[in-house]
Amino acid sequence: MPDKATMQQLAMNDNMASATLFDRSIEAFTKVVVGFDKITGRPRKSGGLFGHVKAYFGMVETQGRGTLHLHLLAWVYGAPRSTSEFEDRLQADLNYEAMVLKYSEGIVSNSLPIDLLQTPCKACEHVDTKYEALDPPLSAFEKPRRSEGVLPREPIMAKCGHCNTMVSSQHLVRQALLHSRPKVWPVELPKLSQSAIDKYLDEEAAFLKSTAGKKYDPERAHDHMRSSFQAYLEGTVHMESNVDYQELLAGARANLEESNTASNTYVAPDKDPFCLDPIYRELSSMPFGPNETRLPDETVLFVIATLASVLQVHWWSHCASCFKQSRNTRAAQMCRYLFPRARVEVGRIGTSAILLVRKLGEEYINGYSDVILRAFKCNHDIQIMIGGAEMAERIYYACKYTTKDQQKVECRTALALAAFDTRIQRELSTAEGGMALSDEVKCRRRLASHMFNMTRKQEVAGPLCALYLLRESCAYTSHFYKKMSIRHVLKFLHQHSDTPFQLEVATNIKGITRPQLGECDASHIESSNDESESDSSDLESDDEEDASPISGPMHPEQSSVFVPVGPAEDYINRPDAMCKDISWFEFTSKFFRANRADGTSTDKLFMERHSLHKSKCIGVHRLARIPVLTGGVRVPFFGDCLKPGERDFHAQVALVLFKPFRVLSDLCPDGSTWHEAWESFQPTMSTRSAEVYHFMQDYHVGRKKAAKTRTSREEEQNIQIENDDGRTEPDDFDDIDFENALLVASRHPETSHLDCDDARDTTSELYQAVSSSEMSNQVKFPTTTPIEADIAALVGGQSLDEASATASSSY
């Protein structure tokens, strides 16, 4: 088997193959592990690893080595949706904290599944194992350095209670892995009966049929499955000669025993003997399918521990991204991820995170899910974000980090000055070393340094470019979004001369027919108007009249006629029959501008004063959209609106979003101020509008708590405030937290399944890797309030179609 570096190089040599594999892995992850059905816009009936997920949003980034990874936020049904709701639940139910901890422990673990403290000491081999925990030295948080030419060693974290031998946490992990290794590898598997083989083949056939659709060929699929899977299911081992492998295994074990000292000297991770162990390399490259359920329990625990000890460990010598100015640390000389982590004997909800059990020897283990680890064999970081006063700061940072500008261009002057200063320092160091550089060399290197610093911030790695070409986006989302420009609408209502208009086609052109239902995606056919969307694929299936060719006289020589369309003109001229008493926010979520047909119902026609009355009508989204406020305007925090002008601005923004209107006087009657109009309207708001407004205000509450917490910490630690954009280099995993969401930084599995033309794609492998009984309703977030009707129906056993008929679309 090639070494890890060779396999990484092979992956990076084919950017499209890497991007394709990554895309398949993430699509499988969102469909099966997250358990969300994008077609229905709802979670799958059985849920996923985290319970029933309401929505998710993720952005892809590249690490310094060019590999892809994803930052994913997932909102879970039943979780508190605001800071006040969490506090109310905590006070109302004394068992709520225990329920949240139980939910968290069912998903995330900071521990290896093998007992590190029951392994005999290597020095004394005493049967009655006893280790005493030591406080981690300050040097454990710092970058290790050579001392008089001597390589640094792993930090001492424990000592044997019998012989007083000082050992590192890494030694405890290595010792436990060695003692839990199977005597024979590959492990002998019991033979499957023919009925069991037929069961697996039937499940695979059902999966292939669901993904292939009309292209499904039963005969071809049957031959494919028989040739690809039957030998594997019957228990064929991976190694051609088990005898040869046993000889290799014996030599590998001897090498590992020799390299397992009480505190190893520094070695690069890719040179560590345990990372090069043949068994680990075998596990990391083989798909774990149905055979996993046939392995002995102790072997399964060893597999999880082996994968976690390599993929989920923060390396004790840290890396470059650990040492940057951060709000978590006093200086850039300390690991900003705070590894080694503090030990936790009893789990609890802290002020800034849920603290799960972490015992001696597990200080460097990053929280992981054994299901994800076994299925994807990649590094990942799961944070269940719900907690105390400091949680708001982490929520805000997590959202900002995940949605930050992927390619922000820094100040060119600052970059030029930084490059010049770095170059001068290097020239001085060279001169001190006795080497003189000519003026020509200095000029050439200064120019090269300047150009490198100007361009490196804008470079895009090959796999990310390939991903853009493959799916036209680096975002993975459960819902579609629509823009709302409050500033433009206010200008339009006030009839400002600088109101922006969009030119739209007013005449239907012959030969342009609307695509049939399901043929296209909304994100590809939006009109130029941010407030409208020509999306025939989102028309309800019972709107058959809208699926007919567009109306109007069809002449080949007919030319296009363009007319200006104002902001929110669709909403202002909406038909009374369908959406008279509905706010602009709700209208944007549910409706869009569709092409008008000959048989279009009059209930769907715009008012005659609409610029496009003769060619357009109202269409209904099959799945509700998420309105997004643009232009830097959001509803201000009412508590900060002390002056009359500030209160009026708050009222204008809130009324435009949530109060039905057609003209300006509908929002603010003559003789009233904006604030008076808002106070009069607020008690009559619809339940949905009131809920959205509350969340918008809670955003400011979270920011204020974040600012207060950050200020007090900075005063205590006397450190400089980090730049507001919160940018960090995308290297290694970032220890980010989130409130009622799960942040999964799912890394690209660099060496797992490089061949994207393999008969089974990643989705198929995942279905086989995780049994249905293991994924089905494994966890459910504890709640003391009723869950939304659609999810309650799903949990109660209704089908998705039945639930859709009894509940409106959630947005």
Summarize pLDDT for 97-122 with one digit per residue, the tens: 899 999 999 999 999 999 999 888 98
Q: Compute CA 36 distance to the chain's CA centroid, rounded to the nearest angstrom.
A: 13
Residue 540: pLDDT over 80? no
Measured CA distances, 270 to 5, 13, 83, 315, 359 (Å): 8, 19, 43, 11, 27
Mean pLDDT over 563-574 rounds to: 90
Locate 260 and state its tokens: 């397992």
Identify the top-confidence range among 13-17, 133-137, 553-557, 725-729. 133-137
Q: How far apart are CA 504 and CA 564, in angstroms?
A: 6
Residue 446: pLDDT over 70? yes
In terms of C-beta density within 10 A (0-12 exposed, 13-18 middle, 19 or more buried), how is residue 507 classed? middle
Higher per-residue confidence, 766 vs 406? 406
Identify the top-confidence range among 178-187, 390-399, 623-632, 666-675. 666-675
For 294-335, how does the pLDDT look when each residue is reduced to its tens digit (9 = 90+)? 778 888 899 899 999 999 999 999 988 888 777 666 666 888
Closest CA to 400 of 744, 76, 63, 724: 724
Residue 784: pLDDT over 50? no
Residue 787: pLDDT over 80? no
Tokens 């009622």 belong to which residue? Answer: 740
Residue 468: pLDDT over 80? yes
Pairing of strands 741-747, 475-477: unpaired
Mean pLDDT over 256-271 rounds to: 87
Mean pLDDT over 621-637 rounds to: 88
Q: How far apart are CA 703 and CA 590, in angstroms?
A: 30
Closest CA to 570 of 632, 512, 519, 502: 502
Which helix or strand (DSSP H or E) is residue 53 part of? strand 53-62
Q: How far apart are CA 790 and CA 801, in angstroms?
A: 10
Mean pLDDT over 254-283 rounds to: 85
pLDDT at position 592: 93
Locate 595 and state its tokens: 């092409």
Q: How far apart are CA 454 and CA 412, in angstroms?
A: 7
Q: How far apart are CA 552 and CA 296, in angstroms?
A: 71
Higher per-residue confidence, 276 vs 223? 276
- Alpha helix (H) residue ranges in 341-475: 370-376, 391-402, 412-432, 439-455, 462-471
Percent of the chain whose predicted confidence (pLDDT) is above 70: 69
Q: Compute CA 421 distance to the chain's CA centroid, rounded to the nearest angstrom.
A: 38
Axis crossing angle, helix 278-285 with helix 242-259, rounded to the nearest 10:
120
pLDDT at position 746: 39
- The angle subtended at Cα 74 by Cα 71 and Cα 80, nearest 5°, is 135
pLDDT at position 256: 87
Instruction: Give the pLDDT band of residue 385 (cuts 50, 70, 90).
Output: confident
pLDDT at position 674: 94
Mean pLDDT over 183-202 rounds to: 72
pLDDT at position 793: 39
Summarize the chain as % helix, strand, coil (round to 5).
45, 10, 45
pLDDT at position 508: 53
pLDDT at position 353: 80
Mean pLDDT over 1-23 rounds to: 80
Q: Is the pTM of this model over 0.85?
A: no
Least confident of 44-48, 309-313, 648-652: 44-48
Q: How many CB atoms sit inside 10 A of residue 212's CB?
A: 12
- Cβ distance 406 to 61 under 8 Å? yes
Q: Provide the mean pLDDT of the chain.
A: 75
Residue 293: pLDDT over 80? no
pLDDT at position 292: 62
Least confident of 219-223, 395-399, 431-435: 219-223
Residue 772: pLDDT over 90? no
- The angle subtended at Cα 377 by Cα 376 and Cα 378, nearest 5°, is 95
Which SS3 state, helix, strand or coil, does residue 382 take? Answer: strand
Pairing of strands 348-349, 481-484: unpaired
For 673-702, how does the pLDDT look when each residue is reduced to its tens digit (9 = 90+)? 999 999 999 999 999 899 999 988 888 887
Percent of the chain whose predicted confidence (pLDDT) is above 90: 25
Mean pLDDT over 422-427 rounds to: 84
pLDDT at position 208: 64
Residue 505: pLDDT over 50? yes
Locate 703 and state its tokens: 């920011």
Instruction: Give the pLDDT band of residue 715 (cuts 50, 70, 90).
Output: low
Locate 415 and state its tokens: 């970059």
Residue 670: pLDDT over 60? yes
Least confident of 94-108, 639-653, 794-808: 794-808
pLDDT at position 705: 76
Residue 751: pLDDT over 50? no
